[in-house]
Amino acid sequence: MTPDRWSQIERVYHLALERAEGERDNFLTEACAGDEALRREVESLLAHDGKAAFLSTPAVAHRGGDTLVGQSLGPYVVSARIGEGGMGEVYRARDQALGRDVAIKVLPRAFTADAERLARFAREARVLAALNHPHIGAIYGLEDVAGTRGLVLELVEGPTLAERLSHGPLSINEALLFARQIAEALDAAHEKGIVHRDLKPANIKVTPEGEVKVLDFGLAKATDGDGAAPDLTHTPTLTVGATREGMVLGTPAYMSPEQARGQAVDKRADIWAFGCVLYEMLTGRMAFPGETQSDTIVGILEHQPDWTALPAATPASVRRLLQRCLDKNARQRLRDIGDARSEIHEAMSAEQEPIATVARSSRNWPWIAAAMLILGAIGGWAVSRVPQPSTRESMLQLQIEPPEGGEFTRGVNDIALSPDGRTAVYIASVEGRTALWVRPLDGKTARRLPGTEDALNPFWSPDGKAVAFVKSGKLLRIDVAGGTPVTICDVNGIIAGGAWSSDGRILIGLLRRPLSQVSSAGGTLSPLTTFDASLGEVAHVWPQILPGGRFLYWAASTQAEHTDGVYAASLAKPQERVRLLTSKTNALYASSSEGQGYLLWWRDGTLVARPFDPVTLQLSGQPRPVADPVGVVVSFARMNVTVSASGTLLYGGSSNLTRLAWFDRTGKSLGTVGDPAAYWPGFRISRDGRQVAATRVDAGRDLWLFELERGVSRRFTLDAGGGFNPLWSDDGQTILYMGDNASNLYRKDASGPGTEQRLIYSQVKEDLWVDWSRDGQFVLLVRSDSVTRNDLWILPVTPDVKVPPNTHPRPYVRTPFNEWAARFSPDSRWVAYQSDKTGQSEIYLDAFPEPRRELRISTAGGSQPRWSASGRELFYRTPAPGNKLMAVRLNPSGDAMEPSSSQELFSLPGNDFDVTADGQRILSPVPADQRPPAPTVIVNWPALLREPVTR
C-alpha cells in the first residue's frame, strides 16, 4: 500500500462515516467508481469501526473523563468534576438527604482489585472519620462508584494554601496562625497513629473565615504498602512507575529526605513537610525548589533552604523551629508536632525579636539521590538484559548488543554519542565491510552513511549535525542527515582522537605528534601543542573539548611511566597547560544533569570519576569508582569508554587481555608481572632475570620494560610503528628491537632515557630479527624469498653494537624449507630453530657459525626453542592442543651435541613463553578476564558515584 492509496482510502472512509448507515452503500459505489479493491478496503475498515476498545485506555496512563457527572451514587448526585487529585478525579456532589455538597474522590480501579488493600484503606478511613477535628477535612463515607470506590469527603470551600501563596508570602502573623492550626491538626492525627505523608499547601484549604483545613489525611499512606514496616521497595515518585499515588504529578518538594530515599516513614515526615509549609508561608517560596523533580530531590537531600529569605522580623524561635523541622536527619529532627505548636504559640504571644540569627549550615556530603532513577530508555537497541533496579541503585544500567546485522569493531571507542545524547554514530562491520552507521537512540533502524567505508575515529560536530572521521589519510566530514563526505584536510599518521570545537576548529590527535588543529571548513593541519622535551614527550592524543574554550588531552612520555598524564589548556593559549592527573589512559570530561562536572579516567580496570570544574580546571573531592570492570584501550591508551554530554555513559569490558605470569617447572603459578594488557608474542627476560621486555598492543604497539624487583614498569619506546621483538644484550644494558613498518632494527639503552638509534636499515620488508648472541657479535634474522622461503641469516655487529661498514646479512641456514624462530645457545656454538622440512614444525639444532648437520630435537612437533643459561637444557613447546612445555637435556660431546632425556613439564597457558636463565621459572601469558561483558550503557552515571553519607 502506498501513502497515496492510503490517503484515498482515508478520504473515502471518513466521507462514508459522515453518511447515514443506510446511505453508505450507494455512497461507496459512487465514490469508489469501480475500484473494487478500494471499496473492499473501506468496507472492511468500516466493519471494524468502533471495535478498538482495547485502545481506548492508554497503555500506561489512565485519565478519566467526565463520565460520572450527573450520576447518582447512593444519596449523592454528582454535579461536576472539580479536579484531579493525584489519586483520581474529584467530583462535587450533592447529598440529597442532608442538603449539602460533598466532595467525592474516586479511587483508582486498582483498589477494587485488591481486597486486602481496600480493607486496610477502609480501616484507615474509619479512624480518620472518627477524628472529627476542626482543622481536618472530614470523611463522610465510602461509596461504590462505577466499579470502584469513592471517598466522600467534606467539601471545603475556599482556596488552597497553594493558591494563596501563589500571590506571595503571608504576613508573619497569618503564617503563624495557619501554622498553629496545621500543627494542631497534625497533632490530633499523630496521636491516633495516623501520618499524613503528603502534607503540602495544595492539601491545605483556607476557608473564607480564615480557618485551615488539612485534607487528604492519611490517604497517601493507606494506598500503598504496609503501615509501620519499612517498605524498601518504595522508591519515590521519580522512578518509572512511581509507586506513590498522588505524588507523581505533584512536586516532591515536600518529601522528607527519608521519603526520598525510600526509607521508612513516620510522623517525622509530616514534621518535615510542616517545616516546608511554614517556610513557604513566610517567604512565598518553596523551601526546596527545583525545576525538575530530580533537582528538587537533590535539594532536599543536599541543600539547606535559603534561610536568608525569611523575613527579617521572623522571630528567632520560629527560625529555630524551622531548622529543627527541616533537619535532614530524622533522628535529630523535631520529634513531636506538639512542640511546634507550643513554639508557635509562644512566638505569637512573645515580643518580636528583630535580630535574625544566621542559620547554622550543616555540612552535607555529596549524595546523589537514590531517588534519581530514570528511564533507561535506550529504545531501539537490542537490550540483552535489564537488571532489576534495587532501591539503592539510582540509575539504569543496560547491556547492549551490537545492532542487528553488524558488530562493533573494536569496542565502544567506535561509538560516538551525539552531543545531545540522542543519536549514536558507530563503526560496524556488516558483511565484512566496515562503515559508519547512524542510529537514533529511540529508533530501531540504523542507517549507513555512504562514503564512510573503512572510516575511523568518528566524532560529532558540536551542533550534532555532522560527523567527522578519518579515512585513507584524510579527515572528512559528513552531514548526518545525508550527503557525501567532504574532505577537510590530509592526515598523515595514525589517528588517535578528534574533537570539534564550537569555534569551528577541529583538534586531531596523531601518534608521535603534538595535537594538531584545522578549521572544520578545510585547510591543513597545524600544530596546536608542542612536546615538552624535558619530559621526553612523544604523544599528545585523545583531545576533548571542554566548556569554556578549553580542551584536554593525554600525553605520553618516554620517561618513567608516571609522567604519562592528562593535561588541559585553553584553545587561546594551548602552551599554558595544566596537568590534571597522572593516568595510563585518557580522561573524559562529563557533567551530570545537575551541572556538576567530572573527570573520568581509568584506574586499574575501574572507571573513576572526580568532581572537576572545566573553567578553573580544578579537581576537587576524591576519585570515586563509577563502574568496573572497565576495559582499557583497544587502541592506544584510550579507555573503552565514551560519554555523551547528557549523562550517558557507554563502556566496554576488556577483551583479550592477558597477564604475564610466572610458573615453576611443575606449572604452579608464582605470580604475575605488570598489568593486564594485550601482550604480543616475543617478550624476553633479560639475562640477569631482573627485567622483562614485552610489547603491549593494547597501547599502541610499544615495548615496555618491567623491573621485576621494584615492580615498576615503563614504556620503553613510542613509535608510530611501535617496538617489538626485543633482544637483550648480555649485560642488560641495550635492547635491540624492531620498531616500524619496515624491518629496521633499532637499538636503545635499556636504562634511563635515551634515544633510539637505527642499527640496521633493512631493504627487505619481511625481515624479522630474532636473536642476538650472548657475546654480542651476531644478530640472527629470518629472511624470506620466493625460492627458499624462510631462512636464517646472520649479521655481525661490533662490540659497541654497531654494524661495521659494508657489512650485510649472510645466509646461515638456507633450504627450500622454512626455517625460523632461531635462538643462539649461550656459548654461541649452536643455534636452535624451527623447521618444517618434515611437514610440521619441529625443533632442530645446528652448529654455529657454520652449520654442519642439523639435529632434530623434538619428536612430535615443536616450536619456540629457548635455552637455559647453562646451554645444557633446551625448552620448546608442542603444538596445540597440547601446548606442552618440554625440557630436553643436552650433552655436548666433542663437537656434537646429544640430546638425552626429554621431559614434559606442563601445559602452557599462553601462546608464548620465556624461561629464566636458570631454567627454573617460566613466564607465559594467562587470560586476564573472564569473557568480556557486552558494552554497558549507563544513563545518569553520576548516580553511581558511591559514597557513604556522613555527617
Partner 1 sequence: MRHERRDHTLQASALVNEAYLRLIEVTQVQWQNRVHFIAMASRIMRRILVDAARAKRNQKRGGGGQKVSLDEALPVAETSIEDLVAIDAALDALEAVDARKCKVVEMRFFGGLTVEETADALHVSVGTIMRDWRLAKTWLARELERGHDA
Per CB under 8 A, 242 contacts partner 1: yes
Q: Which of residues 534-593 bind partner 1 (CB under 8 A)?
A: 593
Enumerate residues 245-264 that contact partner 1 by CB under 8 A.
245, 248-249
Site size with partner 1, rule: CB under 8 A: 72
Give kind and range of the element (H or E) at residue 899: strand 896-907
Minimum Å gap between C-beta 661 and partner 1 is 41
**Shortest gap between Cβ of 236 and partner 1 (angstroms)?**
11
How is residue 39 annotated by DSSP? H
* C-alpha cell, 599: 573527570
Contact 856/837 with Cβ under 8 angstroms? no
Is 187 labeled as catalytic in the residue annotation?
no
Q: Whose Cβ is closer to partner 1: residue 52's or residue 787's?
A: 52
Q: What are 470's three cell numbers?
A: 578519518
Whichever of 179 and 590 has its CB closer to partner 1, that residue is 590
| H/E stretch holding 296 | helix 293-302
Q: According to CB under 8 A, which residues from 16 to 55 bind partner 1?
A: 17, 44-52, 54-55
* CA separation for the pair 343, 333 (Å, rounded): 15
For residue 228, state whether it binds partner 1 (rule: CB under 8 A). Answer: no
Residue from 173, 349, 361, 388 touching partner 1 (CB under 8 A): that is 388
Nearer to partner 1, 245 or 698 (CB): 245
Closest CB 42 distance from partner 1, rounded Å? 10
Site for partner 1 in 367-386 (CB under 8 A): 372, 374-377, 379-380, 383, 386
Nearer to partner 1, 130 or 249 (CB): 249
Q: Is 36 helix (H, G, I), strand (E, B) or coil?
A: helix
Shortest Å, Cβ 566 to partner 1? 24
Question: Judged by CB under 8 A, does residue 647 bind partner 1?
Answer: yes
Shortest Å, Cβ 241 to partner 1: 4
Residue 389 found at the interface with partner 1 (CB under 8 A)? yes
Please give the grid coordinates belonging to residue 643: 560519554
Contact call for residue 147 and partner 1 (CB under 8 A)? no
Tell me how far apart the alpha carbons of residues 130 and 193 are, in angstroms, rounded to a whole number.
13
- Within 52-71, which residues bind partner 1 (CB under 8 A)? 52, 54-63
Q: Is 314 in the site for partner 1 (CB under 8 A)?
A: no
Question: Which position among 241, 805, 816, 894 is part of the footprint of partner 1 (CB under 8 A)?
Answer: 241
Strand partners, 518: 506
Min dist. Cβ of residue 35 to partner 1 (A): 17
The H or E element spanning position 175 is: helix 172-191
Round to whole Å and give the CA distance between 544 and 313: 52
User: With binding defined as CB under 8 A, does residue 736 bind partner 1?
Assistant: no
Smaller CB separation from partner 1, 296 or 743: 296
Q: Which stretch binds partner 1 (CB under 8 A): 2-10, 312-320, 610-618, 795-803?
A: 2-10
Strand partners, 100: 95
Does residue 1 touch partner 1 according to CB under 8 A?
yes
Asked whether position 2 contacts partner 1 by CB under 8 A, the answer is yes
Q: Which stretch binds partner 1 (CB under 8 A): 161-169, 234-242, 524-532, 720-728?
A: 234-242
Burial string for 672-703 (b: 16+ CB within 10 Å, else e) reads bbbbbbbbbebbbbbbebebbbbbbbbbbbbb
76 neighbors 143 (Cβ within 8 angstroms): yes
In the bound state with partner 1, the residue whose beta carbon lies nearer, of 160 and 394, is 394
Which range of residues in 208-216, 289-297, 350-358, 568-576 is near partner 1 by CB under 8 A?
A: 289-297
* CB-CB contact of 327 with 333 (8 Å): yes
889-928 mask for partner 1 (x: CB under 8 A)? ----------------------------------------
Q: Residue 888: helix, strand or coil by DSSP?
A: strand
Q: Where are the alpha helices (DSSP H) in 629-673?
A: none
Residue 114 in the binding site for partner 1 (CB under 8 A): yes
Ranges within 154-213 binding partner 1 (CB under 8 A): none
CA gap 599, 622 in Å, rounded: 11
* Catalytic residue, candidates 25, 144, 187, 198: 198
Pairwise CA distance, residues 321 & 345, whole Å? 12
HSE-up (13 A, CA, CB side) for residue 744:
16
272 within 8 A of 407, measured Cβ to Cβ: no
Alpha-carbon separation of residue 566 from 510, 542, 555, 637 (angstroms): 16, 10, 6, 11
Q: Which of 524, 525, 530 is CA-nearest to residue 553?
A: 530
Catalytic (active-site) positions:
198
